[in-house]
Amino acid sequence: MKAYKLRDNIWWVGGIDWDLRNFHGYLTQRGSTYNAYLIIDEKITLIDNVKYYLYEEMLSRISSVIDPSKIDILIQNHVEMDHSSGLPMLMKLLPNVPIYTNANGIKGLKAHFGPEGWDFHEIKTGDSINIGKRDLTFMTTPMVHWPDNQFTYCPHEKILFSNDAFGQHIASSERMANELPLNMVLEEAKKYYANIVLPYSKQVQKVLEAAAPLEIEMIAPSHGLIWTDGIGQIIDAYKHWAYYDADPQKALVIYDTMWKSTQKMAFAIAQAFENKGVRAKMLNLQTNHISDIMTEVMDAKYVCVGSPTLNSSILPTVAAFLYYLKGLSPKNRIGLAFGSYGWGGQSIPILQQLLGDKDQCGFEMLDPIKTQYIPDRATLDKITQDLEQQIT
Ligand code: FEO
């Protein structure tokens, strides 16, 4: 395996996880990469690491450029094991090499690997180290995505090593975002934000502000493609996502159904949005993965969720989605609960609570809609007409 040259003496030496399809519940149809970066300077520096089963791949890429035992400095921008579980193996080769990370990074690496004698050097925001012709400056970015995340910035090269921020789960032979269709890369970045970063949007807002003065010609994240031409687009997208921007002309109708009554209601609800000029997207939970639905939630103003009543509750697919949604904490959305029932009708107040309560999703709610047994044409038309009155 070869290293990929980014600049003179700066190399991508990561691992490509072609088969990854599940990243703690997030469906990663395109696989992923764990990006590590090698800088050859007076002090040879490795930024980040890879998942343990790609360690040999990383080592062979490093070996295509230098003898790995010559590495002088390690920088660990994040503790999570997709970027650190190769580290204990590398430390066997480099037992005395200094590791630069922040206090939470040191704490996390100690807790994960119980290392004996690792030479930790604590950094804080604004600290720099000199590795020869280049300086490397640090910025802690807590909760983007764990308490220990940090950026490493190289002013000489104007490269931001951003770790999880600006990443995408894409396995590819290409390394640069401009080598693949930009819309696809941005869509994967959006899915990544929705499923990984969204709960920490307030922290992202702060980091975007703090990083704004940096001159950046390349963003080298820890997953997926490296940004050069698309830097403006990905930073703009992060601004929209971090501030929970939503398109008032986009609605999602998310549901599961037992005997198609709730599905009929879903289409009647979509009709009301379309009659008001709002695009409505149908998302049946039997055919859509919750992590793909989250990508749609990123820019939809209306989030309508339907379930029939089953065992005095909601269908398990809908429950799974709503708990996932709550955890990811989108804000500034309008919700709608709907569903069919036979006799109890408990699904509708449960949906209303999970979408609307302040300690749940906390959405502003439209009036809930329920129908008993099978809605006929007149009932469906009334659902459409009544809902139209509520859509502004
Ligand atoms: Fe890619 Fe939070 O690890």
Q: What is the mean pLDDT of each run of 10 residues along the chain (392 residues)?
A: 98 98 96 98 98 98 98 98 98 97 98 93 98 98 96 98 98 98 98 97 96 97 97 97 98 98 98 98 98 98 98 98 97 98 97 97 98 98 98 91
Ramachandran class of 265: left when φ > 0, alpha when ψ lies in -120 to 50, beta otherwise: alpha
- Mean pLDDT for the chain? 97
Known catalytic residue at 145: yes
Rounded to two decimals, the pTM is 0.97
Q: What pLDDT does residue 116 have?
A: 86
> Could you say which of 1.25.40.20, 3.40.50.300, 3.30.470.20, 3.60.15.10 is the CATH number of the domain covering 4-242?
3.60.15.10
Q: Which residues of 120-149 are buried (b: 16+ CB within 10 A; e: fewer)?
A: beebeeeeebebeebebbbbbbbbbbbbbb
CA distance 198 to 245: 12
d(CA 152, CA 117): 24
Q: What is the pLDDT of residue 59?
A: 98
Residues 6+ positions from 371 with CB-CB distance below 8 Å: 261, 265, 340, 341, 379, 383
Look up 121 and say whether it is catalytic.
no
Query: What is the C-alpha to C-alpha distance for residues 48 and 105, in angstroms, rounded to an integer?
Result: 12
pLDDT of residue 7: 98
Nearest-CA residue for atom 3 of ligand 1: 80
Query: Ligand 1 site: residues with CB under 6 angstroms?
Result: 78, 80, 82-83, 145-146, 164, 222-223
Say if residues 296 and 303 touch (Cβ distance below 8 Å).
no
Ligand 1 center–CA 188 separation, angstroms: 15
Q: Which of 24, 116, 215, 359 is an active site residue?
A: 24
Of 192, 193, 238, 255, the catalytic one is: 192
Q: What is the 3-state secondary structure (H, E, C) of 12-49?
A: ECCEEECCCCEECCEECCCCEEECCEEECCCCCEEECC
Determine what percent of the chain is predicted with pLDDT higher than 70: 100
> What residue spans in the chain does CATH classification 3.60.15.10 cover?
4-242
Span 78-129, pLDDT tens digits:
999 999 999 999 999 999 999 999 999 999 999 999 888 999 999 999 999 9
Give per-residue pLDDT as tens, 148-160. 999 999 999 999 9
User: 228-253, pLDDT tens digit by residue?
Assistant: 999 999 999 999 999 999 999 999 99
The CATH number of 248-390, from 3.30.56.10, 2.60.40.10, 3.40.50.360, 3.40.50.720, is: 3.40.50.360
